[in-house]
């Protein structure tokens, strides 16, 4: 019987009279890579900070690795690795000095060896004397990840780790995350890149402080119950204009020469698109609903709820 | 077309600057508050011709002549006898500690010689570590005392029995100003650098965004505080050595007391300063605010501690206010030990006061420290 790595209920956080996180419940199984998705300012960072003991919640309870998030912050800090959104190691220390500092704070045994192995794994051994501030974005991110896992945490929380990093570095980064998860590490990663969401075992979608969808990518797409059709042809721009506001049409997005049209009411959508296709001489075809379509739909819904 | 000065652009810049100034409440409050507070404070508190200086009287036989002279001295407004019946040993300790500025000794045969018309004498010992303090009091002394004596004796006697007043300027007989200023400067220099450097300690982490990372790792508030504060003790130690060596080699300041008492006193003082700086850094949000708070603290502590102007010359309320600055206690301690050779016991009170600062400030800093980012 293993307890989930993260199990929080009704977490609430207010800054002044603004409720940033509103009764969010979240459960992450051990060994799982959980995606934490949501638009900018949706409360992802705040929720992560609440869970690793960096903020005091205004309501709710929860356990992280079996430790109470309200009373047992010390234990959580020892067993969790947290990688902040912004590079937050010391830019005026060298790579090696930063790692030594982290190793000391976690009271690691064999500090010198651990730091050397980490540097070698990173491929930064020859550059260990360089100031961390001189590293490029991709290297900073790799250094930060290495520093966060050096103390062998049981849970890793990554807050938008790949913001501003090139596609190659992003792929390498995700390979590393999967390697770590295969060794039994639980990972919670926040992102708003859809391709990254698809690399997670399960995703949790938060919008304006509330959790609005959860499950595997396939489940989330299925549960959304959306119908997508693609319109192709010469006059797609005109088709888009005519489709705006038509019955059953919720989203219209141009992708190159094609138009993705998404809606919740499949029958009405198809009827509208068929009519417009006839008028503009374009062709329509059924298509798979993508995760991105679902998120945009969810964002729109959440905004409606706010109003 | 680009003009050198466009009023539309200038206006936009002025508006933006004013808005930013108003948003930063601390700065704004200081700009308005500081001139007012300091004008009132220093305007009333500072007095370069100090009156009512505490004095001790050593008079084994308290006869009418002695009493007449004492009340005459008090009437000048310069003397206030806080210990009107001290023994020679008590008086010696009081002047060494700085509790009194004068010790007036009236010999036991004073009354007899005055009645006989036999030129009586009194001894006035003045604490001359701050040469400016005692000068007014000393200058009025001779005439006042002999007039009083003459009145008491009936004024009938001839001039033959003029009173002889012996003045001893203790600790600094030549009245060298450096003797007073240089040990004080040690305190002021330490205060400026120690408080300011540690005041930046936490705000720098917050401003650079490293605070979030630091807090997410298992370091306790006490560890973080000590980690921030201890390196500056080292910096302070270097400064102390430089100033002490210079004061000996360049200014030739006497070092009468034991070196270890001096060093221990400095250690406790510096500890209080770095923790004060750390406390400032727990309450300020930016490095700029930390700087401002440091200066807000710095100016009154220089004015009211007795560094620039005689502490004894300030009105009672200002002296009380002066007690809240560690510098005040440190100046008493360092001047007593360096110039008067006071031992640890004599300056125990100042040491204890500094120790209390360390304790209260550390507690406040630990309580103020935010373990979370709230």
| DSSP sequence for A217-266 | HHHHHHHHT-EEEEEESS-HHHHHHHHTT-TT--EEEEETTEEEEEES-H
CB contact under 8 A, B217 and A90: no
Mean pLDDT of B158-168: 69
Spatial distance between the Cα atoms of A24 and A210, rounded to a whole number of angstroms = 6
The answer as to whether A307 is a domain residue is no
Chain A residues touching B374 at Cβ < 8 A: 55-56
Instruction: Return the higher-pLDDT residue of B366 and B42.
Output: B366
Could you tell me the CATH number of the domain that includes residue A248?
Answer: 3.30.70.100
Query: For residues A99 and A116, is the Cβ–Cβ distance under 8 A?
Result: no
- Based on the fold, state whether residues A130 and A194 are members of the same structural domain: yes
- Based on the fold, state whether residues A175 and A246 are members of the same structural domain: no
- Based on the fold, state whether residues A40 and A112 are members of the same structural domain: yes
Confidence band, pLDDT 50/70/90 cuts, at residue A62: very high
CB contact under 8 A, B218 and A105: yes
**pLDDT above 80: residue B227:** yes
- Based on the fold, state whether residues A32 and A56 are members of the same structural domain: yes
Calculate how close chain A gets to B10, using CA atoms only, in Å. 35
Chain A residues touching B372 at Cβ < 8 A: 53-56
**pLDDT above 70: residue B158:** no
Mean of per-residue pLDDT scores for chain A:
89
**Residue numbers of the domain that contains A240:** 227-288
**pLDDT above 60: residue B99:** yes
**pLDDT above 70: residue A133:** yes
Query: Tokens standing for B260?
Result: 């270890």
ipTM surpasses 0.90 = no
Residues 215-234 on B with a CB inside 8 Å of A are 215-219
Task: Check if B370 contacts A (Cβ < 8 Å).
Answer: no
Residue A206 phi/psi, 5-degree rounding, is -115, 140
Give the model's pLDDT for residue B201.
85
The answer as to whether A299 is a domain residue is no
Q: Which of B211, B217, B371 is nearest residue A102 as measured by Cβ atoms?
A: B217
Which of A204, A221, A238 delimits the end of a domain? Answer: A221
Spatial distance between the Cα atoms of A63 and A81, rounded to a whole number of angstroms = 16
The answer as to whether A294 is a domain residue is no
For residue A92, give the chain B residue with the closest CA.
B208
- What are the C-alpha distances in Å from A246 to residues A73, A250, A287, B264? 53, 9, 19, 85
pLDDT tens for residues B355-367?
999 999 999 998 9
Chain A residues touching B218 at Cβ < 8 A: 74, 77-78, 105-106
- Based on the fold, state whether residues A146 and A262 are members of the same structural domain: no
Query: For residues A193 and A87, is the Cβ–Cβ distance under 8 A?
Result: no
- Based on the fold, state whether residues A145 and A232 are members of the same structural domain: no
CB contact under 8 A, B372 and A74: no
Spatial distance between the Cα atoms of A209 and A213, rounded to a whole number of angstroms = 12
The answer as to whether A296 is a domain residue is no
- Based on the fold, state whether residues A65 and A171 are members of the same structural domain: yes
- Based on the fold, state whether residues A232 and A203 are members of the same structural domain: no
Domains of chain B, first to last: 53-170 (3.40.1710.10), 177-368 (no CATH)
Q: Best mutation site among A12, A14, A49 for testing chain B: the one with the most B CBs within 10 Å?
A: A49
**pLDDT above 90: residue B124:** no
Task: Check if B177 contacts A (Cβ < 8 Å).
Answer: no
The answer as to whether A303 is a domain residue is no
Query: For residues B179 and B129, is the Cβ–Cβ distance under 8 A?
Result: yes
**pLDDT above 70: residue A303:** no
Which residue matches tokens 């501690």? B305
Give the model's pLDDT for residue A47.
93
Q: Which of B208, B219, B372 is nearest residue A55 as measured by Cβ atoms?
A: B372
Spatial distance between the Cα atoms of A188 and A200, rounded to a whole number of angstroms = 9
CB contact under 8 A, B217 and A88: no
Chain B residues touching A74 at Cβ < 8 A: 218
Q: Which residues, in sequence order, are CB contacts of A205 under 8 Å at separation 6+?
A: A37, A38, A211, A212, A213, A214, A220, A295, A298
- Based on the fold, state whether residues A150 and A108 are members of the same structural domain: yes
Give the model's pLDDT for residue A307.
42
Confidence band, pLDDT 50/70/90 cuts, at residue A233: confident
Give the model's pLDDT for residue A96.
93
Could you tell me the CATH number of the domain that includes residue A175?
Answer: 3.40.50.300
Q: How many Cβ pairs closer than 8 A exist between chain A and B?
A: 46
- What are the C-alpha distances in Å from B222 to residues A106, B4, B275? 16, 56, 12
CB contact under 8 A, B216 and A90: no
Confidence band, pLDDT 50/70/90 cuts, at residue A122: confident
Query: For residues B305 and B331, is the Cβ–Cβ distance under 8 A?
Result: yes
Give the model's pLDDT for residue B362.
92
- Based on the fold, state whether residues A283 and A204 are members of the same structural domain: no
CB contact under 8 A, A77 and B209: no
- Report the domain count for chain A: 2
For residue A153, give the chain B residue with the closest CA.
B217
Chain A residues touching B209 at Cβ < 8 A: 84, 86-88
- Based on the fold, state whether residues A151 and A275 are members of the same structural domain: no
Interface of A with B (CB under 8 A): 49, 52-56, 73-74, 77-78, 80, 82, 84, 86-91, 102, 105-106
- Based on the fold, state whether residues A35 and A114 are members of the same structural domain: yes
CB contact under 8 A, A73 and B371: yes
Mean pLDDT of A221-229: 90
Confidence band, pLDDT 50/70/90 cuts, at residue B106: confident
Spatial distance between the Cα atoms of B295 and A20, rounded to a whole number of angstroms = 37
Give the model's pLDDT for residue B161.
56
pLDDT tens for residues B181-216?
888 889 999 998 899 889 988 899 988 889 999 999
Mean pLDDT of A184-202: 90
CB-based burial of residue A281 (10 Å sphere; 0-12 exposed, 13-18 middle, 19+ buried)? exposed
Which of A203, A221, A239 delimits the end of a domain? Answer: A221
Helix (H) or strand (E) holding A28: strand A18-28
Query: Tokens standing for A86?
Result: 């912004």
Which of A221, A244, A263 delimits the end of a domain? Answer: A221
The answer as to whether A146 is a domain residue is yes
CB contact under 8 A, B216 and A82: yes
Mean pLDDT of A206-226: 88
Query: Tokens standing for B341?
Result: 């050779």
Task: Check if B212 contacts A (Cβ < 8 Å).
Answer: yes
pLDDT tens for residues A88-121?
999 999 999 999 999 999 998 899 999 999 999 8
Give the model's pLDDT for residue A119.
92
The answer as to whether A140 is a domain residue is yes
SS (HEC) of chain B: CCCCCCHHHHHHHHHHHHHHHHHCHHHHHHHHHHHHHHHHHHHHHCCCCCCCEEEEEECCCCCHHHHHHHHHHHHCCCEEEEECCCCHHHHHHHHHHCCCCEEEECCCCHHHHHHHCCCCEEEEEEECCCHHHHHHHHHHHHHHHHHHHHHHCCCCCCHHHCCEEEEEEECCCCCCHHHHHHHHHHHHHHHHHHHHHHHCHHHHHHHHCHHHHHHHCCCCHHHHHHHHHHHHHHHHHHHHHHHHHHHHHCCCCCCCCCHHHHHHHHHHHHHHHHHHHHHHHHHCCCHHHHHHHHHHHHHHHHHHCCCCCCHHHCCHHHHHHHCCCHHHHHHHHHHHHHHHCCCCCCCHHHHHHHHHHHHHHHHHHHHHCCCCCC
| Window from A117-126, B17-26, B318-327, B353-362 with minimum mean pLDDT | B17-26
Confidence band, pLDDT 50/70/90 cuts, at residue B325: very high
The answer as to whether A131 is a domain residue is yes
Chain A residues touching B219 at Cβ < 8 A: 105
**pLDDT above 80: residue B336:** yes
Query: For residues A84 and A49, is the Cβ–Cβ distance under 8 A?
Result: no
């Amino acid at each position: 019987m293993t307890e989930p790595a993260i199990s929080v209920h009704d977490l609430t956080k207010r800054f002044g009279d603004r409720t940033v996180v509103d009764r969010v419940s979240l459960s992450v199984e051990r060994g799982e890579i959980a995606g934490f998705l949501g638009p900018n300012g949706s409360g992802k960072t705040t929720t992560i900070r609440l869970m690793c003991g960096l903020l005091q919640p205004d309501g709710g309870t929860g356990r992280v690795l079996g430790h109470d998030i309200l009373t047992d912050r010390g234990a959580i800090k020892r067993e969790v690795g947290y990688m902040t959104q912004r590079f937050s190691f010391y830019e005026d220390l060298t790579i090696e000095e930063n790692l030594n500092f982290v190793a000391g704070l976690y009271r690691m045994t064999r500090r010198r060896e651990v730091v050397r192995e980490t540097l070698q794994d990173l491929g930064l051994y020859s550059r260990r004397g360089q100031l961390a501030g001189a590293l490029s974005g991709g290297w900073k991110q790799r250094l930060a990840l290495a520093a966060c896992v050096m103390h062998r945490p049981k849970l890793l929380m990554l807050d938008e780790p790949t913001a501003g990093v090139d596609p190659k570095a992003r792929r390498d980064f995700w390979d590393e995350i999967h390697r770590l998860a295969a060794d039994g590490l639980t990972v919670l990663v926040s992102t708003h890149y859809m391709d990254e969401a698809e690399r997670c075992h399960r995703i949790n979608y938060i919008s304006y402080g509330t959790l609005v969808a959860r499950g595997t990518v396939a489940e989330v797409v299925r549960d959304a119950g959306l119908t997508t059709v693609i319109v192709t042809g010469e006059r797609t721009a005109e088709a888009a204009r005519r489709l705006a506001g038509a019955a059953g049409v919720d989203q219209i997005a141009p992708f190159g020469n094609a138009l993705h049209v998404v809606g919740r009411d499949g029958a009405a959508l198809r009827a509208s698109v068929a009519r417009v296709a006839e008028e503009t001489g374009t062709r329509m075809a059924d298509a798979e609903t993508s995760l991105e379509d679902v998120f945009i739909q969810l964002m729109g819904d959440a905004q409606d709820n706010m109003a | 077309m680009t003009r050198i000065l466009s009023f539309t652009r200038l206006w936009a810049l002025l508006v933006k600057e004013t808005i930013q100034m108003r948003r930063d409440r601390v700065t704004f409050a200081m700009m308005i508050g500081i001139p007012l507070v300091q004008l009132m404070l220093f305007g009333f508190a500072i007095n370069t011709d100090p009156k009512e200086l505490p004095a001790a009287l050593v008079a084994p036989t308290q006869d009418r002549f002695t009493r007449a002279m004492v009340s005459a001295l008090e009437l000048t407004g310069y003397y206030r006898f806080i210990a009107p019946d001290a023994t020679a040993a008590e008086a010696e300790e009081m002047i060494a500690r700085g509790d009194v500025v004068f010790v007036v000794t009236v010999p036991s045969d004073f009354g007899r010689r005055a009645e006989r018309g036999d030129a009586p004498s009194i001894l006035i010992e003045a604490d001359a570590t701050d040469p400016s303090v005692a000068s007014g009091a000393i200058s009025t002394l001779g005439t006042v005392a002999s007039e009083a004596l003459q009145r008491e004796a009936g004024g009938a006697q001839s001039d033959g029995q003029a009173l002889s007043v012996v003045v001893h300027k203790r600790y600094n007989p030549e009245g060298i100003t450096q003797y007073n200023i240089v040990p004080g400067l040690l305190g002021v220099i330490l205060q400026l650098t120690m408080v300011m450097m540690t005041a930046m300690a936490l705000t720098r982490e917050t401003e650079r965004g490293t605070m979030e990372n630091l807090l997410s790792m298992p370091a306790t508030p006490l560890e973080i505080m000590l980690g921030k504060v201890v390196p500056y003790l080292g910096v302070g130690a270097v400064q102390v050595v430089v100033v002490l060596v210079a004061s000996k080699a360049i200014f030739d300041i006497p070092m009468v007391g034991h070196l270890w008492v001096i060093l221990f006193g400095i250690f406790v003082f510096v500890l209080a300063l770095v923790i004060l700086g750390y406390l400032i850094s727990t309450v300020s949000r930016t490095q700029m605010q930390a700087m401002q708070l440091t200066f807000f603290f710095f100016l009154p502590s220089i004015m009211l501690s007795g560094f620039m102007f005689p502490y004894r010359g300030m009105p009672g309320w200002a002296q009380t206010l002066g007690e809240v600055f560690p510098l005040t206690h440190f100046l008493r301690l360092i001047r007593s030990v360096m110039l008067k050779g006071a031992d640890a016991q004599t300056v125990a009170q100042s040491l204890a006061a500094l120790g209390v600062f360390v304790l209260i400030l550390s507690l406040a800093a630990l309580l103020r420290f935010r373990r979370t980012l709230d």
